Every structure is written in C-alpha cells, then in structure tokens.
C-alpha cells in the first residue's frame, strides 16, 4: 500500500516543482483565484485554471476535474495548444487517482502529442514518466518500462535536469525490490543526489533521504530509519513543506506494517494536527479513519469522539464540495467518447463531401473543357463561315465587276460600232457635196451648158453642202460633250425662244407652239436648241410633211415638253426603240445624240405611238 502511494506522490510532484516552498494549500488556492480574476488574456487565464486544477488534485479531486474541463474548453475555443496540453495532463492525473488507468493513459498520450508538437522537452519528459506509471498500474509492464526508459534518455539532454532527478527517483522506486537492478537503482539514487545539489531547496532531497531510510529499514536498521524520518519531518516543517512532512510521517506507519515494532499513532496524530493547522483537512481522511479505528477499539471515548467529529466534518465538506462542484466524470468521459465518434463520423462525412466536391470539380472541369472546346469549335466555325461569306461576297463582287466590265465592253463595242458608223455616214455625206462641187467645176469648164441647167446643179450642190454642214455641226457638238474636259453647268433656257429659232431649220410647213411665254428650263442652251431642231426635223421626216406638228409644254414635277405628229407606218414597239442606233438610218444618229444630250442634262426623253400619232417628249427641271 505504501509503495503504491509513494509512487503516485512521486508522479504528481512533477506538477509542483515550480512552486518553491509551500505554505498552506488554501492560501495557494486563494492566491490563484485572486490571480484568475485579474487575467485579461485567455492564454494566461487558462494557465491559472490548470494551476488550480493541479492544486486541487491534492485535496478535492472533483474540483481538479472541474477546472481541467473548463481549461480544456477555453483552450479549445482559442486554439491554445499549451493550455490544452495542461488540461489533458490534469485529466490524466484525475483518472489515475480514480483508478481508471485506461482513461488516464488516453488523456496522457494526447497531452504528450501536444507537447511534442510544441517541442516542450521538459513536459515531454514529464508525460513519458507519467505514462510509465499509468501503464505500470494497468499491468502493462513492458510498455511501462519503455516509457520510463524514453523519459530517462530524454532527461539526460535537458538543460534544466530537475525533472530528470524525479525520473531517476521513479526508476529507483520502480526497481528497488528487483535484485537484478540493484546497481542501477543505486546509481539512479546517487545521480539524483548529484542533480539535487544544483537546486537548493528542492523537495526531491527529502524523498532521496526517505528512500535511503527505507533501505536502512530493509537492512534491519529500523531505529536509524525512524530517526532519519523524524529528522526529515522536522526539517520539512521548518522549511514550510507541510505536504512533504505529512508524507514523511506516513513512512513510520509503513514500517509498522512491515513488522517493525513502532508506535505509528503519535505520528498519525502529529500529521493530523499539522494538516488541520495548514488547512489540509480533506487530505487527512485516511489518517483520520486509522486514528478513529484505533481509538474505537480502545476505551478512550474522548479521542474517539474527537476523531469521529473530524471524520464527520471531512465527510460533510466533501459532500458540500460534491454538491457545488461535482461533475459526473464518467458521464463526461462517455460523452467525450460519443463526441469523438461524432467527430470521426464528421471526418468521414467530410471525406465523402471532399470526394463528392472533387468529383463535382472534375465534372465541372470536364464541362468547362467541353464548353471551351465547343466555344473554340464555334469560334472556328464562325471564322470559317465568315471567311466563306467573305469569299462568296468577293466572288459576288468579282462577278458584278466582271459583269460591269462586260457591260462596259459591250457599251464600248456599241460606241465603237456607232463611231464607225458615224465615220461611214460622214464619209458618205461628205462624198455627195464633194461630187456636186466636182460636177460644178466640170460645168464651169463646159461653156456650152445651158444657164438654167447649170443653175439647177449649183442649187443642188448648195443644199447638199448646207445639209452636210448641219450634220457636221451636230457631230462637233456631240464630240465636244464627250470630251473629258466638258463640265455641264445648267443655265436658264427660254423654251419658247429656242423653239422659234428651231423653226427656221425645219422642213414641215405646219408647226403649232403651245408654250407659255417666259418659261425657262435648266439646261445647256446649245444642247437644248439641237434637241428641239432635231425633234422637229424627225417629226417632219416621219410624218412625211402631213398634218400639223403640235408642241406642248406642261409644268409637272418636271417641265414636260411633247411634240405630237401623225405617223402611218410606225408601231409602239418601233417607237420604244426610236432613240437607239439602227444601221443605215441617218436619223437614228441624230436621235442617239439627242438622248445623250438629255442624259448629260439630267433629263428624260421617250417616244410612244397612240392612235397613229407619235408623241416624242422630254422632261427637264424648271429654272427658278
């Protein structure tokens, strides 16, 4: 029993190494609670909670659990890895004291992983040592030895090797009854002594010397061992190490249990008195129970009543603490296991969701690729279509240009043919007056010709020459209008005056003018005079000098001028082609020139046959 208790004391002492010399536990807890109220930083607040939990494990294990759970919740919310590791360490101690080593191992291992993540070598060494103890009491000695050896190997490398001293003490306690490890146990104790000398005031020296007293007891030097324990107790009390003194006094009861004739009752009463004075009443339950049983077997009713009252007070305090701070640690553990299962299920679900998201992304990427490919193909198709349309447009344009060139070629061919015919007409028309001139010259040489006959031949030559001059003048006007330097500039043309001038050159005896005086057309005066003269000549020739030629001028959108005369042999189809060139028809040359002049002036000219009467008309804008 003592061995187990001492081993746990060694284990839990690791959490108190930095406390220095202790005063009463209530004072320490009170200071920590006051410090808790002053903390504004969540990390510092969590650290104080963990210190309170470590303090309470010595007096009220449920309070230790309550502070550990609270610290763990805050550390988890704020991602405080160090605070979470400290809370898990306290939980592992809680479950170890509740003799639930499996849960202690689980929380201790989680704390070890977090300290390794933080690369906190001192706390890693401490957790390895604690896990060694947990596995030992769980009956897993090989695993216990493995963790202990890891703690020893790591402790060698620590700059602050006070924890290594505690690991060596645990090693010595672990193998002190194993004869095969006697030398290594002795070495561990000596090495621990060497380390402790570096840290004056360390509590480890008391446990080293108590360990030596235990060895003296085994060697039969019980009196010497008891004397050493009493000396250490006095020194611990003098140094203010109340907990150490109480633990040391418990050694004498262990000696009694191992057969040494020592009266442990005075030491228990002394330990109880020290604990009451220091405020550690809750820790004294085993001592009070032992004293109550001792006096219950005797006849000392006063002592029995005294310790019975103390026992009742301890029970009342524990019930009061349980009612205020109690938490169902087993239910907490089961809920945590359920939470872990939910977390595992959540991770599985997250993995499924991740796979689903990955598949969705893959599908989206595939759809995106296909969409991009389709867009690329659509763009390529559109480009090809536009290229095709452009090609067709170019082909159409080329076709139209070819058609235009062909039409121009046809027009050039027609014009060339017209010019050829024009030259032929000129040659023919000039031949007649030249022949007349030759004939007249011959007559002048022939003096025997009669005067009347000679005068007739001269008159014919004059008429032919005049006719030729008129044709030649018309052709010259037309040629001048075809020159590239000719610019048409509309000018006011008195229509009535122009027709009156044209009447002097017509062969028709009856011409009736119905034109408003002062009506002016916008055009070229010479061209318009030529057109009027030519149309009257056409009327005289086509009518054969019969009937009356009627000239009308009507103002519509354009000023429409019409020349009406009788015809016998012309049909409407022939009238539609009146202004086209016809081979062997001298009149067609004049009419083609008229049409060309009218086109130059922007007017319109046409011919039609209605009831054996031909109407030749043209239209030009009025000059305003």
Q: Assign domain 491-620 to a CATH class.
A: alpha beta
Cβ atoms of 166 and 129 within 8 Å: the answer is yes
pLDDT at 403 over 50: yes
Cβ atoms of 71 and 50 within 8 Å: the answer is yes
**Closest by alpha carbon to 280, among 288, 291, 89?**
288
pLDDT tens-digit map of 573-583 = 888 888 887 76
Question: 567's torsion region: left (phi>0), alpha (psi -120 to 50) or beta?
Answer: beta
The residue-averaged pLDDT of 196-217 equals 77
pLDDT tens-digit map of 528-565 = 988 888 898 888 888 888 888 999 999 888 899 999 99
pLDDT tens-digit map of 14-24 = 333 333 334 44
Which tokens go with 489? 């500039």
Burial of 93 (0-12, 13-18, 19+ CB in 10 A): buried
The residue-averaged pLDDT of 372-378 equals 91
pLDDT value of residue 223: 83
Highest mean pLDDT among 340-344, 394-398, 429-433, 439-443: 394-398
Query: In what helix (H) or strand (E) does residue 479 lie, and over which residues does it extend?
Result: helix 451-482
pLDDT tens-digit map of 485-533 = 567 788 899 989 989 888 887 777 788 899 988 899 999 888 898 888 8
Q: Lowest-confidence range among 34-43, 73-82, 594-603?
A: 34-43
Which tokens go with 517? 């005086």
pLDDT value of residue 128: 92
pLDDT value of residue 467: 64
The Cα–Cα gap between 293 and 28 comes to 32
pLDDT value of residue 15: 39
pLDDT value of residue 337: 62
Reported as a pLDDT band with limits 50, 70 and 90, residue 62 is confident
Who has greater pLDDT, 607 or 182? 607
The Cα–Cα gap between 199 and 205 comes to 10
| DSSP β-ladder status, 511-514 and 549-555 | parallel
In whole numbers, what is the pLDDT of the chain averaged over residues? 79
609 forms beta bridges with: 614
pLDDT at 387 over 60: yes
Reported as a pLDDT band with limits 50, 70 and 90, residue 57 is low
Nearby residues of 337 by Cβ (< 8 Å), 6 or more positions away: none
Reported as a pLDDT band with limits 50, 70 and 90, residue 257 is confident
Which tokens go with 331? 């239910």
pLDDT value of residue 221: 84
Cβ atoms of 79 and 121 within 8 Å: the answer is no
Q: What is the CA radius of gyration of the chain?
A: 70
Cβ neighbours around 586 below 10 Å, total: 13
Angle at 226 (CA atoms; ends 222, 228), nearest 5 degrees: 115
Reported as a pLDDT band with limits 50, 70 and 90, residue 7 is very low
pLDDT value of residue 464: 65
Query: In what helix (H) or strand (E) does residue 566 lie, and over which residues does it extend?
Result: strand 559-566
pLDDT value of residue 117: 92
pLDDT at 619 over 90: yes
The residue-averaged pLDDT of 381-387 equals 89
pLDDT value of residue 332: 59
The residue-averaged pLDDT of 117-123 equals 89
pLDDT tens-digit map of 88-105 = 998 888 877 766 788 889
Domain residue ranges of the chain, discontinuous segments joined by +: 1-197, 203-262, 280-327, 383-486, 491-620
The residue-averaged pLDDT of 275-279 equals 68
pLDDT value of residue 6: 37
The residue-averaged pLDDT of 425-438 equals 62
Reported as a pLDDT band with limits 50, 70 and 90, residue 10 is very low
Sheet architecture: strand order including 549-555: 511-514, 549-555, 559-566, 613-620, 604-610
Cβ atoms of 224 and 231 within 8 Å: the answer is no
pLDDT value of residue 22: 41
pLDDT tens-digit map of 356-366 = 889 988 889 99
Cβ atoms of 129 and 11 within 8 Å: the answer is yes
Q: Lowest-confidence range among 39-48, 80-89, 357-366?
A: 39-48
Q: How many CA atoms lie within 13 A of 180 on its CB side?
A: 0
pLDDT value of residue 13: 43
Cβ atoms of 89 and 75 within 8 Å: the answer is no
**Closest by alpha carbon to 539, among 530, 550, 553, 528?**
550
pLDDT value of residue 217: 83
The Cα–Cα gap between 600 and 418 comes to 18
The Cα–Cα gap between 605 and 599 comes to 9
Residue 138 to residues 14, 326, 336, Cα–Cα distance (Å): 20, 26, 22
Q: Assign domain 1-197 to a CATH class.
A: mainly alpha
């Amino acid at each position: 029993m003592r061995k187990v208790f001492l081993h746990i004391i060694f284990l839990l002492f690791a959490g108190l190494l930095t406390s220095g010399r202790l005063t009463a536990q209530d004072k320490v807890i009170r200071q920590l609670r006051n410090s808790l109220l002053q903390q504004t930083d969540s990390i510092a607040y969590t650290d104080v909670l963990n210190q309170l939990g470590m303090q309470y494990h010595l007096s009220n294990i449920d309070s230790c659990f309550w502070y550990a759970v609270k610290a763990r919740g805050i550390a988890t919310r704020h991602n405080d890895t160090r605070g979470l590791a400290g809370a898990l360490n306290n939980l592992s101690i809680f479950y170890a004291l509740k003799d639930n080593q499996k849960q202690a191992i689980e929380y201790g291992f989680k704390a070890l992983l977090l300290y390794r993540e933080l690369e906190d070598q001192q706390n890693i060494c401490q957790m390895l040592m604690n896990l060694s103890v947990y596995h030992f009491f769980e009956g897993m000695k090989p695993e216990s030895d493995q963790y202990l050896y890891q703690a020893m190997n790591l402790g060698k490398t620590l700059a602050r090797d006070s924890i290594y001293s505690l690991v060596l003490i645990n090693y010595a306690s672990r193998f002190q009854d194993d004869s095969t490890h006697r030398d290594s146990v002795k070495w561990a104790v000596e090495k621990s002594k060497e380390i402790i000398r570096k840290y004056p005031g360390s509590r480890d020296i008391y446990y080293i010397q108590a360990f030596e007293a235990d060895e003296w007891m085994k060697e039969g030097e019980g009196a010497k061992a008891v004397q050493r324990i009493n000396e250490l107790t006095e020194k611990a009390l003098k140094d203010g190490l109340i907990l150490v003194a109480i633990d040391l006094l418990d050694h004498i009861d262990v000696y009694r249990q191992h057969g040494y004739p020592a009266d442990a009752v005075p030491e228990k009463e002394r330990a109880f008195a020290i604990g009451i004075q220091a405020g550690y009443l809750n820790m004294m339950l085993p001592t009070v129970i032992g004293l109550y049983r001792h006096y219950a077997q005797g006849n000392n009713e006063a002592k029995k009543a005294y310790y019975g009252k103390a026992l009742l007070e301890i029970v009342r305090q524990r019930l009061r603490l349980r009612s205020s701070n109690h938490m169902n640690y087993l239910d907490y553990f089961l809920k945590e296991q359920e939470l872990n299962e939910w977390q595992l299920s959540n991770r599985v679900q997250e993995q499924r969701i991740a796979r689903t998201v990955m598949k969705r992304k893959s599908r989206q990427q595939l759809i995106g690729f296909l969409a991009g490919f389709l867009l690329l193909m659509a763009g390529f198709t559109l480009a090809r279509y536009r290229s095709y349309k452009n090609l067709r447009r170019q082909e159409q344009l080329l076709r139209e240009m070819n058609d235009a060139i062909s039409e121009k070629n046809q027009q050039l061919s027609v014009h060339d043919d017209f010019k050829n015919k024009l030259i032929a007409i000129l040659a023919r028309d000039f031949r007649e007056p030249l022949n007349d001139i030759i004939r007249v010259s011959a007559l002048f040489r022939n003096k025997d010709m009669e005067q009347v006959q000679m005068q007739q031949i001269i008159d014919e030559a004059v008429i032919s020459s005049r006719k030729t001059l008129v044709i030649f003048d018309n052709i010259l006007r037309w040629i001048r209008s075809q020159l590239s330097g000719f610019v048409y500039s509309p000018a006011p043309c008195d229509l009535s005056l122009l027709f009156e001038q044209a009447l002097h050159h017509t062969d028709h005896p009856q011409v009736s003018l119905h034109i408003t005086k002062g009506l002016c057309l916008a055009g070229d005066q010479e061209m318009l005079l030529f057109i009027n003269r030519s149309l009257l000549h056409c009327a005289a020739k086509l009518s054969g000098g019969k009937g009356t030629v009627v000239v009308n001028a009507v103002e519509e959108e354009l000023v429409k001028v019409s020349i009406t005369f009788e015809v016998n042999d012309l049909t409407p189809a022939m009238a539609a082609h009146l202004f086209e060139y016809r081979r062997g028809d001298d009149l067609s040359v004049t009419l083609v020139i008229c049409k060309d002049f009218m086109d130059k002036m922007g007017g319109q000219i046409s011919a039609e046959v209605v009831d054996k009467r031909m109407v030749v008309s043209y239209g030009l804008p009025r000059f305003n």
